[in-house]
A and B are shown apart, each in its own frame.
Chain A
């Protein structure tokens, strides 16, 4: 998340990059020419007859004419796959995510393993995303999709709160997510468990990548959903207390962690009640590193030090303020 902020902070660069990407989709590469100084508004480069960078930057964020997903390259991709090209695999969160409604609210749980095919890409990622002070959302599927979609709806909810002056409702988040996912016809591969407590009470929903939703007392999603669901089906009762609920959620996630290969590492839990929420990151760590060498590492042969020269890099950076101060 921090990395994202750094990139977007340099807004001019990112706009240029966005236009570069957009152009690659719309125009064949051999006709695309780099204009030497794209930010010279007065003299548009004569060499790039197809692309007038000057005018583009001046117009502000000029989104390509057709909104939403551009299906232009689908035919070409199909042709390449038929010819034998293997499509790149995405970072998925082969996952166990669960939610349940207890006496006073909602408890959400998730494992913390992110996989890239057979490799564990992140041993301790966060799958419970913030939507609103009273609403959290667990995400399974392609990690980028779940992150982006929950961030987007979280921002929309905040703006909506400012406009209405009221706390967000869970069905608002549900409808926003549902609309977005349906309009992308399942290509945004995000399977979500959305839970929260609003003025109308506790709610728990599941949202599938194609945009369908369910309202349930207990729910599981992800590759470990069957293992977790078997625990819920066997042990769920109505009117659980907070401790019983947390214990059941932890049990269900552990069932996913130990019986599903796509899930693993630790258990994250989030308890939401009326007016109060508790995000228990790494509530349980059932997979600790058991064998750690107490000696530490030591190298056998001593490396001879010939010369030591330390150059402090900070002094070499010259900061010159050009133009206006950057707006955040």
Chain B
């Protein structure tokens, strides 16, 4: 998807210069993130792949990071823009800590900050090419929200980005309910990630699940899911029709 506006003043050379100042298309991208609210807080799952176009270039990218004491940020889309956002948030948290007033930024505040950043960049036609998922717990209240690269933001009980919207969201709508236990939540997320692994070409079988509760953030070690390929029909698909496929 290109993000060009047709500037028809016939000055191709000058346009090339201004074009290089704006994000036109993403290069190294992360695929979907799936996140749900559960009994004690928020669970977020992502795989660890970074694709360079159609090549799986990087297989060890952590796309879920803790922000301050109360939030968890997951991003899909351009990885360099995600790193830039982390730098902005670093500065934000640093300034907050410097106040030293016992208060700290909660997930709602961080979500609002990110929405403003994304929307303003979009208005300058120079977007940060990410869809962000912000989850957190503060004062017993859990919060889960999402911001897209054009500044669309909302909060919900379960969110997913990219392909996860099409493949994971239907499952979550059916099977999510309030007060999931930790094990049930992880099982549900793994179900969604397994479907994504089967059906999203840029997904890899190496995922991390991050948990945030009142106590703090835990990001799991990378692990892989079991997949099933032993359907009879896969063994000999052309059993009834020799020569077809």
Give residues in A with beta carbon < 8 Å to B: 101, 169-171, 174-175, 198, 200-201, 203-204, 213-217, 226-227, 229-231, 233-234, 238, 251, 255, 258-259
Whether B112 sits at the interface, judged by CB under 8 Å, is no
Kindly state the separation between the CA atoms of A238 and B234 in the bound complex, as whole angstroms: 11
Instruction: Give 4 nearest A-B pairs by CB, closest first.
Output: A217-B233, A226-B166, A171-B241, A227-B170
| A259 engages B170 (CB within 8 Å) | yes
| A230 engages B195 (CB within 8 Å) | yes
Least CB distance, B112 to chain A, in whole angstroms: 29
Least CB distance, A200 to chain B, in whole angstroms: 4
| B244 engages A258 (CB within 8 Å) | no
Kindly state the separation between the CA atoms of A249 and B29 in the bound complex, as whole angstroms: 34
B residues in contact with A255, CB < 8 Å: 170, 174
**Residue of B with least CB distance to A228:** B170
Give residues in B with beta carbon < 8 Å to A: 163, 166-171, 173-174, 191-192, 194-195, 198-199, 231-234, 237-241, 244-245
| A258 engages B171 (CB within 8 Å) | no
A residues in contact with B173, CB < 8 Å: 258-259
Q: List 29 A-B contacts (CB under 8 A).
A: A169-B240, A170-B240, A171-B240, A171-B244, A175-B244, A198-B240, A200-B239, A200-B240, A201-B240, A203-B241, A213-B244, A213-B245, A214-B245, A215-B237, A217-B232, A227-B167, A229-B167, A229-B195, A230-B168, A230-B192, A230-B199, A231-B170, A231-B174, A233-B198, A238-B231, A251-B174, A258-B173, A259-B166, A259-B169
B residues in contact with A230, CB < 8 Å: 166-168, 170-171, 192, 195, 199
A-B contact count (CB 8 A): 73
**Residue of A with least CB distance to B238:** A215
Most buried by A among B174, B192, B239: B174
B residues in contact with A229, CB < 8 Å: 167, 195, 199
| B233 engages A216 (CB within 8 Å) | yes
Kindly state the separation between the CA atoms of A122 and B168 in the bound complex, as whole angstroms: 29
Least CB distance, B101 to chain A, in whole angstroms: 45
**Residue of B with least CB distance to A204:** B233
Known A229-B167, A233-B199: A101·B241 in contact at CB below 8 Å: no
B residues in contact with A204, CB < 8 Å: 233
B residues in contact with A215, CB < 8 Å: 233, 237-238, 240-241, 244-245
Contact of A234 among B191, B231, B238, B245 (CB under 8 A): B191
A residues in contact with B191, CB < 8 Å: 234
Kindly state the separation between the CA atoms of A217 and B46 in the bound complex, as whole angstroms: 29
Kindly state the separation between the CA atoms of A203 and B233 in the bound complex, as whole angstroms: 9
A residues in contact with B240, CB < 8 Å: 169-171, 198, 200-201, 203, 215
A residues in contact with B169, CB < 8 Å: 259
Least CB distance, A108 to chain B, in whole angstroms: 16
B residues in contact with A216, CB < 8 Å: 233, 237
**Residue of A with least CB distance to B191:** A234
| A238 engages B244 (CB within 8 Å) | no
Kindly state the separation between the CA atoms of A53 and B171 in the bound complex, as whole angstroms: 62
Kindly state the separation between the CA atoms of A258 and B166 in the bound complex, as whole angstroms: 12
A residues in contact with B163, CB < 8 Å: 226
| A234 engages B194 (CB within 8 Å) | yes
Kindly state the separation between the CA atoms of A215 and B240 in the bound complex, as whole angstroms: 10
Kindly state the separation between the CA atoms of A230 and B165 in the bound complex, as whole angstroms: 11
Kindly state the separation between the CA atoms of A216 and B245 in the bound complex, as whole angstroms: 10
| A234 engages B171 (CB within 8 Å) | yes
Contact of A101 among B171, B199, B233, B238 (CB under 8 A): B233
Least CB distance, B197 to chain A, in whole angstroms: 9
Least CB distance, A272 to chain B, in whole angstroms: 14
Least CB distance, B191 to chain A, in whole angstroms: 5
Kindly state the separation between the CA atoms of A170 and B241 in the bound complex, as whole angstroms: 9
Kindly state the separation between the CA atoms of A226 and B191 in the bound complex, as whole angstroms: 15
